Structure 1
Amino acid sequence: MTTREDAAALVRRMQECFNSRQFDQAADLHTPGFFNHPLGTTGFEAGKDAWRAVTARFPGMRVVAQDILVDGDKAAVRSTVEGIAASGGDAGPMLFEIFRIHNGRFAEMWGASAGFPASASPEDLLTNPEAS
């Protein structure tokens, strides 16, 4: 079973890799068979490419975990997104992710976002890369 402390440390390490743009170091935080459900891919390479695409569009983007909830081998994370203006005066952009953790590494990820400007959500950028 994953402890809240272990899950929180893993999430924070991943976010630090993202925020410092040390994408290659994040690969070690994922199992070789890591499955990214939003991208429909196995392995971390597609996720790393997605990180590069979104940070190219929003160079000042940072993610900060606000809540990390752990249940068994799953961790649910609600993160604020800094460096992107909220659309229409709404609350700032947020990421909602659920991770399955296996042997101290991310094995699967599900995710959604809210509050991003039109056509600038991570989902839009990943399915429509020419928008970046």
Structure 2
Amino acid sequence: MTTREEAGALVLRMQECFNTRQFDQAAELFTPDFLNHPLGATGFEAGKEAWVQIVARFPAMRVVADDILIDGDKVAIRSSVEGMAAPGSDLWPVLIEIFRLDNGRLAETWGVTEGPDPRH
């Protein structure tokens, strides 16, 4: 069983890998059959490819955890998304993700983004 402290540290480590662009180091944080509901994909590679594409478009993008809530094997995290404000706006998107953990690794995720869409 993953402790609350370990669960919180796991999602923060994932964000650190994203923010430092150490995508390959994040692979060990995910189960081999990681299920990414927003992408409709299984496995870490699909998520890694999405990360590569988004930072190619927004090189200054980073995520900052604002809230982490832990309940059993689930971790919910609300994060500010910096470096991708919509043109002419100082409002930043907010990312809300829920992860299910399995044996100390990220096994499944759901997520939504709120706020201004930087593509418009």
Q: TM-score, normalised by structure 2?
A: 0.92
Shift in Å, 1:85: 1.6
Aligned alpha-carbon RMSD (Å): 1.7
Q: Does 1:9 align with 2:9?
A: yes
Whether the 8 Å CA contact 1:73–1:102 is kept in 2: the answer is yes
Q: Any gaps of 5 or more consecutive residues in structure 2?
A: none
Structure whose residues are more often helix by fraction? 1
Q: Any gaps of 5 or more consecutive residues in structure 1?
A: 121-132
CA distance in 2, matches of 1:116, 1:55: 17
Cross-structure match for 1:50: 50
Change (3 A) 1:68 1:87: farther
Whether the 8 Å CA contact 2:99–2:107 is kept in 1: the answer is yes
Shift in Å, 1:88: 6.3
**Over 3 Å off, 4+ runs:** 86-91
Deviation digits for residues 82-114 of structure 1, max 9, x if unmatched?
Answer: 111246647421100000001110000000001
Q: Which amino acid aligns with 1:106?
A: L
Q: Which amino acid aligns with 2:49?
A: D
Cross-structure match for 2:38: 38
CA distance in 1, matches of 2:118, 2:23: 26
* Equivalent pairs, count: 120
Cross-structure match for 1:124: none
Q: Does 1:116 align with 2:116?
A: yes
